[in-house]
Amino acid sequence: MSIKIISQEQLEQQNISSVIRQIPLLFYPSTKTLYIHRAARLKTLAENNPLSDYLLFCAKIAEQQAKLINQQNTIEAPNLLNNDLAPLSLENLPLNDIWQDYLSELLNSFSDTSEQIDAVIQRLKQNNPEQLQEKAISLLQGKFDLVEGNESIFIWSALSVYYSQLANQIKGKAVAENTDQSWLCPVCNSLPVASVIQLGGNNGLRYLHCSLCESEWYVPRIKCTSCDNIQDIQYFSLDNEMAAIKTECCDACHSYLKILDQDKDPHIEVIADDVASLILDIKTEEEGFAKSGINPFVFAQK
C-alpha cells in the first residue's frame, strides 16, 4: 500500500450558516443499536484482514456491551448542574461505582481466550474497587500512561456502557458550539475517535464522534480538530484519492484525525473502521503527524 496526499477539499458552501441553523449540532447515542451495529461491522471488517483476530476480539467486547445495555436496569441520570461545564464531565458529575458492575460482567463473559487476554482479565479481577476507580479516573482525565494499555480497553469499554446510557437521557442538557475547545465532547469532555460525514442529508457536514459517551457534535470541515487551525490542512489516504477513510493532518500542530465518509461507504462505523484501518495511522505517523484522538480498542503506551 502507498500513501497519497489528497488536495484540499472545497470549503463548505457560503450559505453554511443557514444550513447549520436547520440541522442538529449534537447527536446523542442510540444505545439499543449502537454496539450491535459495531459488533457486526467489526466481524465484516475482520474478513481477509491482517488484523482479523484482533477485530474479532473487539467484536466480542461490543457484543457484550450490547448485552449489558439490554440486561441491566436503565441508569437514571441525576439532576445535572446548569453551568458551562460539559454535563457528564468529571468536574460536573463525579464518577460513581456503577460502571464497575459492567466491568465485572464484561470480564466474566470471556472464557477460553488467549493466555495474554486471560492474564489481563485476572489482573483486573485482583484490583479492589478503590484501585479500579483510580484507574478509571486516570483514563477519564486523559492520563492514559498511568494505566496499562490492555487493561484500559476493558475499563474504557465498561465506562462507555455507563456514559452512553447517561448521554442518551440528557438531551438538551449539553451545548455544541464553536469554542476554543470544540475538539472535546460537549457532553462528557472526552476526546473524539474520528470525524464522520454522515450518510445522506446534513449537506455533507462533519461530526466528531466521542470515544467515551458515543455522542457526535458538529465541527466545520477543513479545520484542525486539535488546534482549530484552518491553514495548510492536508489529507492522506491509502491508494485511492476518493477513499472513504482519510487522515486530516495539520501542519501547524502536526496532529491528525481520521475523517470517514459514509456517503462513499454507507457501512462505515466510526470506531470499527478506525481500528480496522490502523495501517493508515502508521503511514500518517511516518509522515510526522501524531493522532489527536483515541480509539477505545487501541490504548498505546507512552
Q: So what's the pLDDT on residue 300?
A: 61
For Cα atoms 76, 64, 59, give the angle at the middle one, nearest 5 degrees: 130
Amino acid at 208: L
CA distance 88 to 126: 29
- Partnered with residue 290 across adjacent β-strands are 255
pLDDT means over runs of 10, the chain (302 residues): 46 43 80 96 95 96 95 70 81 93 95 88 96 98 95 98 92 58 86 90 82 94 84 86 89 94 94 96 95 90 44
Indicate whether 283 and 184 sit together in one domain: yes
Q: Which of 169, 201, 219 is the last residue of a domain?
A: 169
Q: So what's the pLDDT on residue 179?
A: 46
Q: So what's the pLDDT on residue 88?
A: 93
Q: So what's the pLDDT on residue 203?
A: 63
Q: Tell me which residue has cell 467484536.
A: 59
Q: So what's the pLDDT on residue 2?
A: 47
CB 262 within 8 A of CB 268: yes
Indicate whether 37 and 164 sit together in one domain: yes
Q: How many domains does the chain have?
A: 2
Domain that holds residue 249: 3-27+174-291
Indicate whether 195 and 247 sit together in one domain: yes
Report the candidate in 163, 172, 141, 176 with the shortest Cα–Cα distance to residue 213: 163
How many alpha carbons lie under 13 Å from residue 205 in its C-beta half-sphere? Answer: 24
CA distance 65 to 213: 13
Q: So what's the pLDDT on residue 292?
A: 93
3-state secondary structure of 217: strand
Q: Is 126 among the domain residues?
A: yes
Which CATH number covers residue 57?
3.90.1670.10
3-state secondary structure of 148: coil
